[in-house]
Structure 1
Amino acid sequence: MRIIIADDHAIVRSGFSMILNYQDDMNVIGLCADGIEAYQMVAKYEPDLLLMDLSMPPGESGLIATGKIKEDFPQTKILILTMHDDDEYLFHVLKNGASGYMLKNAPDEELLLAIRTIYNGGTYIHPNMTTSLVRELVNHHEPSPNSNDPFHILSNRELEILPLIAKGYGNKDIAQLLYISVKTVEAHKAKIMDKLQLKSRPELVEYALKNKLLTF
């Protein structure tokens, strides 16, 4: 199977690449550092599977990129690799089309099992996360929307921009990172402040911290 690895840490990319290339049935064909590069490499190489880190600052996060890639390249299966054992992240990436979600501290054998399971058409969820998922399936409904939940309030583009603003990036810097105009950044920033009913950057930073958005 042809695999691309997206992670913002070079040593992590190299480590995963060594593990996978050692397998007879796996071949890593590309390495990238954020969601934008991941999208570009998937478009170019059309891999069978993409290993996607959830948090890749300051570039586009895996959380955002997953939806874009699955919409345009549905044949590529996505396995999310993350340090976040968080229900909201899990539900969001599955809803956006990921086929698996596992923690980075899992043993190598579990990573290989997850990849093979997904490649063969299955879904793999890290055992620590299955309880909450099963609970929601038994109850036959999605997690109850939280009026303060950014995943329900903000668009994908706004979820990209908010953490960058909170980290201190200027409008011009954000525009260059996301390949959009400064005016577009300003418009999104105004919508974010209005939707979240925030009036200053300190309030926005506090909101991002409380909602764990600075890990994007």
Structure 2
Amino acid sequence: MIRVIVVDDQTLVRQGIRSLLDLTDDIEVTGEADDGMSALAAIEEHAPDVVLLDLRMPRHDGIWTLNALRERAGDAPPVLVLTTFDSDTLVLDAMRAGAGGYLLKDVTLERLTRAIRVLAGGGTLISPSITERLMRAVGRRPPPDEAGLPAIQQLTERELEVLRLVAEGYSNREIARALFLAEGTVKNHVSTVLLKLGARDRTNAVLRALHAHVLD
């Protein structure tokens, strides 16, 4: 079973997500929290495989929670953000803070469970609509001050194909099927993309590519 904690300040939302996930055979909600501080306590108690996190909460919000988890040792679970897209800045902040997945709250159960499984398996998932929104945001404002970013090397056409599919939330296996490649070959392409973009993970690679207009 994939153990999940739901973090949202609205009781009805938490109960609704729990009820939906109860319909699955391999995902179990083991805990709930209504803000970042209680989320950290719940994570410590239940050791979840994935955290579902709202961004807008009173007291300690989602960005605070992501930053707090990033400061922990390597045992921090992956975080799937469920947001209503209050602002482009909020989404960008969540990406920089280390969220591993981003979905709208009106997502279908199928999409939600797929995202949970992807994150539990060590992958990342970015909704295409979020990618489009981020591209618009990056296009109308200067990139954040990130002194020391390595120069982005030229990506090959194949690497760009892989990066676009990563930005759309595809797993390595799905990319392999879409491009008719071996999964090991896709993994090698992803590793090369991370190296060329100077990125620490897939999410950071997408963000850097957006900043550099590589995905335009």
TM-score (norm 1): 0.59
- In the TM superposition, 1:53-202 aligns within 5 A as 53-57=54-58, 59-72=59-72, 74-75=74-75, 76-84=77-85, 86-133=87-134, 144-145=143-144
Partner of 1:50: 51
* Kept in 1: contact 2:5–2:48 (CA 8 A): yes
Contact in 2 for aligned 1:85/1:128 (Cα 8 Å) = no
Which residue matches 2:155? none
Where structure 1 has 5 or more consecutive residues not aligned to the other structure, the ranges are 147-216
Q: For residues 12-62 of structure 1, give each alpha carbon's deviation from its aligned partner in whole angstroms, at most 9, with x where no partner exists.
A: 1011011112211111110111111001111222211100111112x2101
Give me the whole-angstrom Cα distance separating, in 1, the residues matched to 2:137 and 2:12.
36
Per-residue CA distance 1:135-170 (angstroms, 9 max, x = gap): 899x9xx96238xxxxxxxxxxxxxxxxxxxxxxxx
Between the aligned partners of 1:121 and 1:49, the Cα distance in structure 2 is 10
Residue 82 of structure 1: CA displacement? Answer: 0.9
Find the aligned partners of 1:127 and 1:7 in 2 and give their Cα distance.
23
Please give the secondary structure, in 2, of the residue aligned with 1:72.
Answer: coil
Q: Which residue of 2 aligns with 1:196?
A: none
Kindly indicate whether the alpha-carbon contact (under 8 Å) linking 1:79 and 1:115 is maintained by their aligned counterparts in 2.
Answer: yes
Of the structure 1 ranges 116-125 and 66-75, higher mean CA displacement relative to structure 2 is found in 66-75
Change (3 A) 1:64 1:16: same
Q: How many residues align?
A: 142
1:17 alignment partner AA: R
**Residues 53-99 of structure 1: per-residue CA shift (max 9 Å, x gap):** 11112x21011111102321543010011111633222211221110
The answer to whether the 8 Å contact 1:43/1:73 transfers is no
Query: How many Å separate the matches in 2 of 1:114 and 1:39?
Result: 22
Q: Which amino acid aligns with 1:19?
A: L
Unaligned runs of 5+ in 2: 146-216
